[in-house]
């Protein structure tokens, strides 16, 4: 079964600094990869997704992620964060071979400091 | 267009009771999935319904059940509540769901269930 690892449970960063949130998944077979954001007391909002094609994926709010098949990683990056980016970020994988729904990582709490 | 609507937003129940949560998907979406979110276990898949049929099921006990109506609205039920069932329950809808995730999932804001 698939598993998703987000090594950093919390990432504090100063405003306007760059940030990278790491995500690794367990299998290199055909998968779809996603990043979701969750603001306090809200549901999950899709930031970006990788289905196929270019390994660099651009999403909303200035975020981007790079799919690396050999390292089974899908790290999320933003060159300059804002206070409003403070939230929980979840990496998720959908395994095409099993037709199952998402397996989510444990989440990374991004705190942007003034 | 309206998003995914979950009701109620907050709920407090006593151990041993049962509870029903509701999810109205985006108009035209036929797939509804349910997830449980807790601080200890994170986001875990409960089940998916498509065209009134349960298509996938996660690893939860039989106390957790669901159904989908002809208008795609879905309900989930938890019987004999335990303290560990306290969680945020999220519903997600998509056009067809399953492995065709390129259509994308839209999540509701969730129902926060507290069992005392």
**Average pLDDT of A89-101?**
76
Best CA proximity match to A74, nearest among A55, A58, A99, A88:
A55
Digit-coded pLDDT (tens) for B32-42: 999 999 988 89
- For residue A58, the cross-strand partners are A64
What DSSP letter does each residue of B63-81 carry, written as one string? TEEEEE-TTS-EEEEE-S-
pLDDT at B33: 92
Choosing among A36, A43, A99, A100, which should be mutated to test the B contact, i.e. which has the most B CBs within 10 A? A43
pLDDT at B97: 63
Q: Residue A97's pLDDT band (boundaries 50, 70, 90)?
A: low
Among A8-12, A14-18, A53-57, A100-104, which is the least confidently predicted range?
A100-104
Q: Residue B1's pLDDT band (boundaries 50, 70, 90)?
A: low
Please report the residues numbered 16 through 35 in chain A whose beta carbons come closer than 8 angstroms to any beta carbon of chain B. Answer: 32, 34
Alpha-carbon distance of A81 to A112, in angstroms, equals: 7
pLDDT for residue B15 is more than 60: yes
How many CB pairs (< 8 A) connect A and B?
Answer: 58
pLDDT for residue A67 is more than 90: yes
Best CA proximity match to B74, nearest among B89, B63, B58, B59:
B89
Burial of A41 per CB tally in 10 Å (0-12, 13-18, 19+) = exposed
- Select from B33, B42, B99 the Cβ nearest to the Cβ of A99: B99
Task: State the nearest Cα–Cα gap between B111 and chain A, in angstroms.
Answer: 10
Please report the residues numbered 25 through 84 in chain B whose beta carbons come closer than 8 angstroms to any beta carbon of chain A. Answer: 33, 35, 42-45, 48, 56
Which residue in chain B is spatially nearest to A107 when comparing CA positions?
Answer: B42
Digit-coded pLDDT (tens) for B34-83: 999 998 889 999 999 999 999 888 899 999 999 999 999 999 999 999 99
Tokens (6 digits) for A104: 């989510």
Mean pLDDT of chain A: 90
Choosing among A99, A101, A102, A105, which should be mutated to test the B contact, i.e. which has the most B CBs within 10 A? A101
pLDDT for residue A109 is more than 80: yes
Per 3-state DSSP, chain B is made up of helix, strand and coil in percentages (nearest 5) of 5, 50, 45
Digit-coded pLDDT (tens) for B78-114: 999 999 999 999 999 988 766 555 556 889 999 999 9
Alpha-carbon distance of A73 to A101, in angstroms, equals: 19
For chain B, say whether A2 makes contact (Cβ under 8 Å). Answer: no
**Average pLDDT of B15-22?**
98
For chain B, say whether A67 makes contact (Cβ under 8 Å). Answer: no
- Residues of chain A contacting residue B35, judged by C-beta atoms under 8 Å apart: 104
pLDDT at B72: 94
């Amino acid at each position: 079964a698939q598993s998703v690892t987000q090594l950093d449970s919390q990432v504090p960063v100063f405003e306007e600094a760059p940030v990278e949130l790491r995500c690794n998944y367990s299998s290199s077979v055909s998968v779809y990869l996603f990043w979701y954001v969750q603001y306090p007391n809200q549901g999950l909002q899709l930031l970006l997704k990788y289905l196929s094609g270019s390994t660099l994926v651009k999403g909303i709010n200035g975020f981007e992620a790079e799919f690396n098949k050999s390292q089974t990683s899908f790290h999320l990056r933003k060159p300059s964060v804002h206070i409003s980016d403070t939230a929980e970020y979840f990496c998720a994988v959908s395994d095409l071979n099993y037709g199952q729904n998402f397996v989510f990582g444990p989440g990374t709490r991004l705190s942007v400091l003034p | 267009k309206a998003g995914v609507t979950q009701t109620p937003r907050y709920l407090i129940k006593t151990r041993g009771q049962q509870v029903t949560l509701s999810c109205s998907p985006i108009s035209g979406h036929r797939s509804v999935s349910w997830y449980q979110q807790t601080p200890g276990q994170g986001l875990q898949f409960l089940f998916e319904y498509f065209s009134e049929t349960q298509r996938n099921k996660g690893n939860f006990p039989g106390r957790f059940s669901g159904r989908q109506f002809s208008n795609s609205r879905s309900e989930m039920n938890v019987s004999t509540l335990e303290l560990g069932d306290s969680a945020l329950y999220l519903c997600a809808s998509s056009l067809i769901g399953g492995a065709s995730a390129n259509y994308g999932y839209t999540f509701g804001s969730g129902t926060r269930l507290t069992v005392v």
